[in-house]
Amino acid sequence: MASSRRSFLSLSAAASTAVALRYIGEPMLARAARHPKAHEGVMIDSNENPLGPCAAAREAVVNIAPQGGRYSDWLTDDLTKQLSELEGVKVEYVRVYAGSTEPLHHSVAAFTSPQRSYVTADPGYEAGMFTAAAVKAKVVKVPLAKDYSHDVKAMLAAGPDAGVFYLCSPNNPTGTLTSHSDIEYLVANKPKDSIVIVDEAYIHFSDAQSVMDLVKADKDVLVLRTFSKIYGMAGLRCGALFARPDLIEKIENYGGGNFMPITAMVAASASLKDGRLVPERKHVNTQIRSSVFAWLDHNGYSYVPSQSNCFMLDTKRAGKEVIEAMAKQNVHIGRIWPVWPTYVRITVGTAPEMDQFQTALKKVMTAAVTASVGPPALPRKGRQGELPVRA
């Protein structure tokens, strides 16, 4: 009896360690909700960039392939140095990873515990919550403010025992911003020994001011960046962490240090050298997003105005039904967040993809109205660019 209880305990310990070591990120979350044949249709469900890597990055990948037999660690050093120069931070404040999921996971594992909670926005990017839950930290979800920014005062009030405050700006899934001054306020008033993780995965699509200056000023702030979004390298895998060296040391106790794929290193490096890439892609994304918003306004659909490559569309009925109906039209849209069950996340794809999205949405929503035999939905704001009320 005693021994079976012991083995049960050790098994459960092994199981929770296994969970703690597992990375949950956007591709897994999107895949969990995805139709098996999604790749054969329009995939606007996981905030990828349909443009892929820029021409110089593709060329760099091809050119480095013959050297794939070597680890070539200096390429990681070169990219680290390049990022430090570009951002104006010392090189010891920068670490490169295969995407930003990994440093997010390690940071949450390092700074949360059963005694130190994880405070995040709702709706917000879910990945860190899985790590917090795996280390048995309390997960505290704080609704976004009325303007869809992070409600930093409410986050502070909800986390007197916080180990981590996680902010994503522009936020995934809403694409809305949290101001630099709000983040500064959070950093100035947070509990001692906690850290603020600012996930800037989508920052290049927006006009948001980065908080890299807070890293430079040696605050308890971590900035995460990825090459998966504007740089179109989700499948090549490259991301970076920027933080004070003593914070990095704590985070590295929880993993990291694996050799980076040389294809990712050279592609990232070539992308950073292309000075036109970010402004051009930002412009393309803004144009397509604005034209989709104009169409939605014209047709009376509500959405949350976004500054990113994704936005939340109010379907005014169970979002899951719309996801399924859209999949039947071969258009695969993103998931719902339980706090807003009538909203679905849409990624901004190419112009032809968004045309297909619009055609399919019209069909699906018209069919929904025609088929409806219940009482009319409660009136909601949101037409013609007004902010929709929250579910």
Kindly give the pairing relationship between strand 221-226 and strand 139-143.
unpaired
**Of 94-102, 280-288, 335-343, 372-380, which part binds ligand PLP (CB under 6 A)?**
94-102
Size of the site for ligand PLP (CB under 6 A): 15
Contact yes or no for 206/180 (Cβ under 8 A):
no
Contact yes or no for 90/281 (Cβ under 8 A):
no
Closest CB to ligand PLP among residues 349, 382: 349
| Other CB atoms within 10 A of residue 61 CB | 20
Binding characters for ligand PLP, 272-301, by CB under 6 A (x = yes): ------------------------------
**Of 5-13, 96-104, 141-149, 342-350, which part binds ligand PLP (CB under 6 A)?**
96-104
What type of residue is 176? T
Considering only residues 131, 226, 271, 308, which one is a binding residue for ligand PLP as defined by CB under 6 A?
226
Gyration radius of the chain's alpha carbons:
22
| Other CB atoms within 10 A of residue 5 CB | 9
DSSP letter, residue 283: H
Phi-psi region of 337 (alpha: psi -120 to 50; beta: other; left: phi over 0): beta
Phi, psi (rounded to 5 degrees) for 225: -130, 155
Q: What is the Cα–Cα distance from 156 to 162, expressed in whole angstroms?
A: 8
Binding characters for ligand PLP, 157-196, by CB under 6 A (x = yes): -----------x---x------------------------
Closest CB to ligand PLP among residues 289, 316: 289
Residue 26 interacting with ligand PLP (CB under 6 A):
yes
Closest CB to ligand PLP among residues 166, 301: 166
Q: What is the Cα–Cα distance from 101 to 115, expressed in whole angstroms?
A: 24
Considering only residues 45, 182, 184, 199, which one is a binding residue for ligand PLP as defined by CB under 6 A?
199
Say which residue the tokens 């169970």 belong to: 318
Closest CB to ligand PLP among residues 21, 367: 21
Closest CB to ligand PLP among residues 240, 364: 240
Residue 45 interacting with ligand PLP (CB under 6 A):
no
Closest CB to ligand PLP among residues 269, 325: 269
**Residue 354, beta-bridge partner list:** none
Q: What is the Cα–Cα distance from 220 to 357, expressed in whole angstroms?
A: 42
Contact yes or no for 175/310 (Cβ under 8 A):
yes
Q: What is the Cα–Cα distance from 368 to 288, expressed in whole angstroms?
A: 26
Residue 94 interacting with ligand PLP (CB under 6 A):
no
Residue 47 interacting with ligand PLP (CB under 6 A):
yes
Considering only residues 123, 159, 239, 349, which one is a binding residue for ligand PLP as defined by CB under 6 A?
239
**Of 97-105, 113-121, 207-215, 268-276, which part binds ligand PLP (CB under 6 A)?**
97-105
Closest CB 263 distance from ligand PLP, rounded Å: 15
| Contacts with ligand PLP, residue ranges (CB under 6 A) | 25-26, 47, 99-101, 125, 168, 172, 199, 201, 226, 228, 234, 239
